[in-house]
Amino acid sequence: MMIVATAGSTDTGTVDDLTAVAALAREHRVWLHVDGAYGAGYVLTGRGRAHLTGIEQADSITFDPHKAWSLPYGTSVLLVRDAATLRRAFSTTGHYMPAAALDPETPDFTSLGVELTREYRALRLWLPLYVHGTDAVTVHLDEKLTMAQLAYHELRQDPAFDLPWAPDLGVVAFRLRHGDAGDHVRMVELLQQRAISLSPPTIRGRAALRMCICSHRTHAEHVRIALDAIRDVAREIHGTTLKAA
Ligand SMILES: Cc1ncc(COP(=O)(O)O)c(C=O)c1O
């Protein structure tokens, strides 16, 4: 049995109340896993840390530096509190197996996962951090948090949109106030023609739109262009809807 909490959900970027979930896991003596694939990296920022309080109580955390940290695809991290649990699951023996590391301080990765012959993935994480430092990542993430707040507040002022979810991190989800599922898909298509990529999730059974401000190449000027385009396209769609009515 385990509880899986989310630190940065795909659709809205929302972080669960991790302190409350950790208390529940402790009470029921079950493993607590946190899916921080998108959100855990925000722990570098003050605002992110405030949302992520409680994540330190997890038994395991997934974290993908290839998402919010903008590192190369396939750079995924699993953090496990007690490595002995992995050894119990994955250790194996065979005459072809390499001898365990002689240095007890060196982790024997062959007994910590399913792979025996492994790619040197850690280099993709270590090298950029070595060259640029964690401060560069923190600045990038803080900028994304600020932009998500900007997008949220600007769209909220526009009566064309409903924004029931204030962004915890860098995802801004919203709805067309007067639009059906087809209108939301049409928004995505029309915006795509202007090189702006939103996705149309279904949240609580209703169509929505999702702006994920994540790339290290996305800056305030791009978000402003996207916001202008979103407002324009919404007017265009509402105009057609009203004419048809
Ligand atoms: C919260 C969350 N967990 C896990 C995943 C899966 O990540 P990947 O596609 O890198 O395997 C995603 C992908 O969007 C995600 O948003």
Task: Give 165-206 pLDDT, tens digit per residue.
Answer: 999 999 999 999 999 999 999 999 999 999 999 999 999 999
Q: Take atom 10 of ligand 1 and give the residue whose Cα is closest.
A: 64
Token pair recorded at residue 36: 């921080």
Q: Does the C-beta of 37 come closer than 6 Å to ligand 1?
A: yes
Residue 51 pLDDT class (50, 70, 90 cuts) = very high
pLDDT score for 244: 52
pLDDT score for 101: 63
- With a CB cutoff of 8 Å and minimum separation 6, the contacts of 114 are 90
What are the tens digits of pLDDT across the range 101-144? Answer: 667 777 888 889 998 888 899 999 999 999 999 999 999 999 99
Q: Does the C-beta of 42 come closer than 6 Å to ligand 1?
A: no
Residue 64 pLDDT class (50, 70, 90 cuts) = very high
| Chain centre distance of CA 57 | 19
Q: Of ligand 1's atoms, which has the minimum distance to the CA of residue 73?
A: 10
Q: Of ligand 1's atoms, which has the minimum distance to the CA of residue 39?
A: 1
pLDDT score for 99: 72
Mean pLDDT score across all residues of the chain: 94
Q: Of ligand 1's atoms, which has the minimum distance to the CA of residue 36?
A: 1
CA-closest candidate to residue 188, choices 178, 174, 171: 174
- Cα 38 to averaged position of ligand 1 atoms, centre (Å): 7
Residues recorded for the chain? 245
Judged against a pLDDT cut of 60, whether residue 55 lies above it is answered with yes
pLDDT score for 93: 83
Judged against a pLDDT cut of 90, whether residue 95 lies above it is answered with no
Judged against a pLDDT cut of 80, whether residue 88 lies above it is answered with yes
- Cα 66 to averaged position of ligand 1 atoms, centre (Å): 10
Q: What is the reported pTM?
A: 0.92
Mutation probe of ligand 1 site: the residue of 33, 67, 78 with most atoms within 8 A of C-beta: 67
What are the tens digits of pLDDT across the range 209-241? Answer: 999 999 999 999 999 999 999 999 999 998 765
* CA atoms of 164 and 174, how far apart (whole Å): 7
Q: Take atom 3 of ligand 1 and give the residue whose Cα is closest.
A: 37
pLDDT score for 194: 96
Q: Of ligand 1's atoms, which has the minimum distance to the CA of residue 8?
A: 1
Tell me the backbone φ, ψ of residue 232, rounded to 5 degrees: -60, -50
Q: Does the C-beta of 16 come closer than 6 Å to ligand 1?
A: no
Judged against a pLDDT cut of 80, whether residue 18 lies above it is answered with yes
Q: Of ligand 1's atoms, which has the minimum distance to the CA of residue 76?
A: 10
Q: Does the C-beta of 35 come closer than 6 Å to ligand 1?
A: yes
Q: Does the C-beta of 165 come closer than 6 Å to ligand 1?
A: no
* CA atoms of 165 and 186, how far apart (whole Å): 22
What percentage of the chain exceeds 90 in pLDDT?
Answer: 85
Residue 97 pLDDT class (50, 70, 90 cuts) = confident
Residue 176 per-residue DSSP state = E
Judged against a pLDDT cut of 60, whether residue 77 lies above it is answered with yes
